[in-house]
Structures are given as structure tokens and as C-alpha cells.
Amino acid sequence: MGTTDTGHQPDGAGEKQSAPRRRADAERNITAILDAALVCFTEQPQASMTAIARTAGVGRVTLYAHFPSREVLLEAVLDHTITLASAVIDTAAPNEGPAVDALSRLLHISWHVLDRHRRLFEIAQRELDPAVLRQHHDQAMSRVEQLLIRGQQEGAFRTDLPLNWLVTTVYSLLHAAAADVNTGHLKQNTAADVLEATLLPALRPPQATVRRRRRG
Amino acid sequence: MGTTDTGHQPDGAGEKQSAPRRRADAERNITAILDAALVCFTEQPQASMTAIARTAGVGRVTLYAHFPSREVLLEAVLDHTITLASAVIDTAAPNEGPAVDALSRLLHISWHVLDRHRRLFEIAQRELDPAVLRQHHDQAMSRVEQLLIRGQQEGAFRTDLPLNWLVTTVYSLLHAAAADVNTGHLKQNTAADVLEATLLPALRPPQATVRRRRRG
DNA sequence: CCTAAGTCGAACACATATGTTCAGTTTAGG
DNA sequence: CCTAAACTGAACATATGTGTTCGACTTAGG
């Protein structure tokens, strides 16, 4: 029979090699598709399957052989990216040392990765099933969220605003910086510093600013 | 002759009543379409012409009679919204009093309007001609930009980061707050306060925070 | 080297969106 | 009240996207 359709388990979460041992070129094409889809989706959300196949350098039929629908592909890309991003984020050792320093490391190392993830998530948000999104969302946000909680406990980050809002603030400015780099308004190498200079004052407890010697 | 096609000048910028005096119902439908398009576009960027016509309560043909293409409609909506938004923004008297207070007024009065405008602009950004966008963009951003410049001159806002970035920061957090209100994470009435509490520290000159008595 | 796994382009069915045309109906407004 | 302006649904042409099927070709890998 012509096409493949071997059940397609493109290294989902825990790379369980259950049944269908794939051939080497199939494996190679899958990763090529995943990479191409990542690029295409982040560049423009409405990227067609045709465009993705072309970018990956494979036929459209091959694409459908591995990912039977756009929805499946998008979810696979999301999953794949989260896995890669997590590894990069962990490089910054977000759980060690003062929270402020950890945040600084996180920003410098992975602002680019985090933004890519954010953009992907935005697409998924309006194309994927909300139920499926929830778990992806939680897994994605948790890294930054935990860091912020730790900072609050240390007294380094403010507690007068909802935690959720602080997370949103971080991601929002992260995205803004990435977008400005894209349009050329901001330089690659200064982005992290600008981001840090903007975020830290916004996250600091408001008392830290007001605490001025109450003299005449 | 069936359809209308009277050259369609739906109150563009300076409402010049050049030649084609429109009938009352035509005028009424045009504003209905403009309103409907605004709602549809901001709710979901890919809204179809059919959906917009249905929302406006007019036939699809009527829509095309006034706005010969999706592109024209989008541009008209953008133009219309900017005009309306400008009026609301001016209510906050952004050029009077201390810049910090003016920003606070601006946020409380018009964060919602500004966000609506931002969303529209995002859509236009990927559907309209870049050249056309430029002027719209400048006209939109200028209000906030001028306020920030004034604040810098007063010494109330930081000058260690690019002005462009400060504008981006304001709009970015504005949008984030609006999105959080939409998802229910933030309450309508607290949004402006949260926004202000986050933005002011981020915009303040960094010296104000660091200025601490250098004691042992 | 030989077979099954994989790939390929072409073509199909289907759905949806954009504009257009037409013929019939409503309505504003003098 | 009467006419021209405006609205209407139905149907058309066109384009693009999705997902499938088919037959032929290539290649991995025992």
C-alpha cells in the first residue's frame, strides 16, 4: 500500500518505543517537519500544511503520513518545544541562589526560548482544544511561577499584586522585547539587559522604593 | 441597476462631503457595519466578511457595496477607531499636570480603549500594507509617547532605556491586563490600579530605587 | 540483492472565503 | 405617490486550504 500511516508516535513526551520501529529516513523527516513547523508557525500563525511541508523539504503526503491533521501537528510541535525549552531553562538553575539573580540568569539565557514558546502557545490557544491546552499551559508557566513564588518568600518580589499578574507581566514584557528585536528596534545583545532593567523594578516590593529616611 | 457602489467615502478622516450625498439608511448601515467589524475583528482576527455582515444585520452584498474589499473595510475600521479613541484619550488631558498623574488618569480612563486599538492594530499589521500602517501606527502611539517624553523632561520617568521601549512597555502591559480581564484572571475595576502599580515602578528612574544611604 | 517501508506528485472530494452579477423587493425623500 | 437609491438572497466564478487515494518510484536495511 502506498502511504505509511504507522500510528505516528513522533517522540511525544516520554519517547516510549512501543511497537512501530521506524526507518531511519522516516525519523529524519519527522524531526525535519517538526523543525519546519516550529519556524513556520512562529513566523506566521496561519501557515498552511503545504508551506510547512515545503519548508521541511518533504512532500505534502509524507507530512500527512506522520501527522494526520493540522491539529495533531500543532500539538506535537508544542510538546516538542516544551521539552526542548525545559532543558534550556534548567541550564539557568532557577531554583538556586537568590531569586533576583536566578531571574536574571533566566532572562539572559532563555528569553529567546521562552518567547518562542509563548508565540507557539498563542497559536495553540486559538486552534487547539482548551482542555488539552490547560496542561501545556501549566507546565510552561510553572517554571517562572515557582521562581516568582520563591522570590516572594525571600521578600525580593512584591506580594501586593496577584501572583498570576506577575507571571503575566514577565511573559508579556518578554514577548514585547522579542518582538522589538524582530523589528530591529532592539538589539539582540541588549535585549536581556533592557528586560531585566524593566522587570526588576516592576517586581520589587513597592516599599523598597518608598523607604526613604523620613527626615525634615 | 442592482447594487449601489457610490464610491464609498465612509467618513474617512476629515468627513469631507465631496459629492455623493448618501441616503439615511445607507449611512445607518455603514456605521452598523463599522461597529460590527470592530467587534468581530477584536474578538477573532480571522472573522469572515459573512460573519461581519451577519453581525451588522445587513446582507453580504450591502457590505461589499460600501466596502469593496476586506482590506478597505479593515482600514476604515482602523481609521474610525483611531478617531474615536483620540477623543476618549483627550478626556484624560494628557498634557496637563505632572506626567505621572497624567499617566494615571490616562490608564484609568482609557486602558480599555487603548487595548481595543492595540488588538485592531495587530490584525492590521499582518493583513494591511506596511506603508499604510506606518501613519496609523505613529498617530496611535504618539499620545503615549509624548506623555512619556514630557515625563522624562520632568525627571519622573527614566532615560536609561530607549524611549521606544518605554512606549512598548506601556502598551504591552496594557494589553496583558486587558487579556487577563477577558479570561477572568483580573477584575474590571482593579485592572487600572494593577496596571498603574506595575507600570510606575518600571518607568521610574532607577536611581530613585538605588538611592540608599551608603552606610556599613 | 531483494523486499518492505517510505516517499513522491498528481488528482480527487470537500469545505470555506472572497468578490461579482442579477433580478426582485423595500424604502427614503422630494 | 412615485422614483431613484438602497437592500436583499440566490447563484456564480475563483482561489485556497484540508485531508485522502492511487500508482510509481526510491531507499533502508536484513
What is the residue-wise DSSP string for A28-68? HHHHHHHHHHHHHHHH-TT--HHHHHHHHTS-HHHHHHHSS
* B130 and B37 fall within a common domain: no
Q: How far is B183 from chain A (nearest CA, A)?
A: 12
A163 touching chain B per CB within 8 A: no
The single-letter code of the amino acid at B134 is R
Residue A123: pLDDT above 80? Answer: yes
Average pLDDT, chain B: 87
- In-domain check, residue A105: yes
Instruction: State which of A33, A68, A103 marks the end of a domain.
Output: A68
Closest CA to B30 of B17, B11, B15: B11
Indicate yes or no: strand C within 7 A of the C-beta of A2: yes
Average pLDDT over residues B187-216: 81
- In-domain check, residue A208: no
* B49 and B115 fall within a common domain: no
Give the CA-to-C1' distance from B25 to C26 in angstroms.
Answer: 12
* B63 and B100 fall within a common domain: no
The minimal CB distance from A180 to the residues B168, B194, B202 is found for: B168
**What does the alpha-carbon distance between residue A78 and residue A123 come to, in Å, rounded to a whole number?**
10
Locus of grid cell 483620540:
B86
pLDDT, tens digit, for every residue of B104-149?
999 999 899 988 988 898 899 888 888 888 888 877 788 899 999 9
* A102 and A58 fall within a common domain: no
Give the pLDDT of residue A11.
44
The single-letter code of the amino acid at B105 is R
**What does the alpha-carbon distance between residue B55 and residue A124 come to, in Å, rounded to a whole number?**
26
**What does the alpha-carbon distance between residue A126 and residue A166 come to, in Å, rounded to a whole number?**
23
Residue B15: pLDDT above 60? Answer: no
**What does the alpha-carbon distance between residue A45 and residue A59 come to, in Å, rounded to a whole number?**
21
- In-domain check, residue A5: no
Q: Which bases in strand D are touched by protein, i.e. have an atom under 7 Å from a CB?
A: 5-11, 16-24, 27-29
The grid cell for B100 is 505621572
Determine the structural domain holding residue B121 and report its residue range: 69-203
The Cβ of residue A153 has, within 10 Å, a number of other Cβ atoms equal to: 11
Residue A17: pLDDT above 60? Answer: no
**What does the alpha-carbon distance between residue B14 and residue B37 come to, in Å, rounded to a whole number?**
21
Residue closest to D22 C1′ by Cα: A2
* A47 and A148 fall within a common domain: no
- In-domain check, residue A75: yes
Contact A157, A99 (CB under 8 A): yes
The minimal CB distance from A209 to the residues B161, B162, B209 is found for: B209
* A62 and A74 fall within a common domain: no
Contact A63, A33 (CB under 8 A): yes
Question: Is A161 in Cβ contact with B198 (below 8 Å)?
Answer: yes
* A57 and A73 fall within a common domain: no
Give the pLDDT of residue A208.
61
Residue B37: pLDDT above 80? Answer: yes
Domain of B33: which CATH number? 1.10.10
Q: Which residues have C-beta within 8 Å of that of residue B180, sequence separation ≥ 6? A: A164, A165, A168, B186, B191
Give the CA-to-C1' distance from B26 to C27 in angstroms.
Answer: 11
* B81 and B166 fall within a common domain: yes
Q: Which of A7-11, A34-38, A79-83, B35-39 has the lowest mean pLDDT?
A: A7-11
- In-domain check, residue B181: yes
Question: Is A202 in Cβ contact with B198 (below 8 Å)?
Answer: yes
Residue B211: pLDDT above 60? Answer: no
Indicate yes or no: strand C within 7 A of the C-beta of B21: no
The grid cell for B34 is 463599522
- In-domain check, residue B8: no
B172 touching chain A per CB within 8 A: yes
pLDDT, tens digit, for every residue of A173-182?
999 999 999 8
The grid cell for B103 is 499617566
Predicted confidence band of residue B208 (pLDDT cuts 50, 70, 90): low
A197 touching chain B per CB within 8 A: yes
Residue A10: pLDDT above 60? Answer: no
Residue A20: pLDDT above 80? Answer: no
Domain of A175: which CATH number? 1.10.357.10
Counting beta carbons within 10 angstroms of the beta carbon of residue B21, is it exposed (0 to 12), middle (13 to 18) or buried (19 or more)?
exposed
Question: Is A201 in Cβ contact with B206 (below 8 Å)?
Answer: yes
Instruction: State which of B48, B68, B88 marks the end of a domain.
Output: B68
* A157 and A62 fall within a common domain: no
Contact A95, A102 (CB under 8 A): yes
Residue B18 phi, psi dihedral angles, 5° rounding: -50, -80
The Cβ of residue B193 has, within 10 Å, a number of other Cβ atoms equal to: 14
- A5 CA: nearest nucleotide by C1': C6
- In-domain check, residue B163: yes
The total domain count for chain B is: 2
- In-domain check, residue A7: no
* B153 and B48 fall within a common domain: no
**What does the alpha-carbon distance between residue B31 and residue B38 come to, in Å, rounded to a whole number?**
10
* B132 and B162 fall within a common domain: yes
Give the pLDDT of residue B130.
85
Closest CA to B161 of A203, A187, A105, A103: A187
* A64 and A92 fall within a common domain: no
Closest CA to B104 of B175, B199, B173: B199
Label residue B212 left, alpha or beta by phi (over 0 means left) and psi (-120 to 50 means alpha): beta
Residue B40: pLDDT above 50? Answer: yes
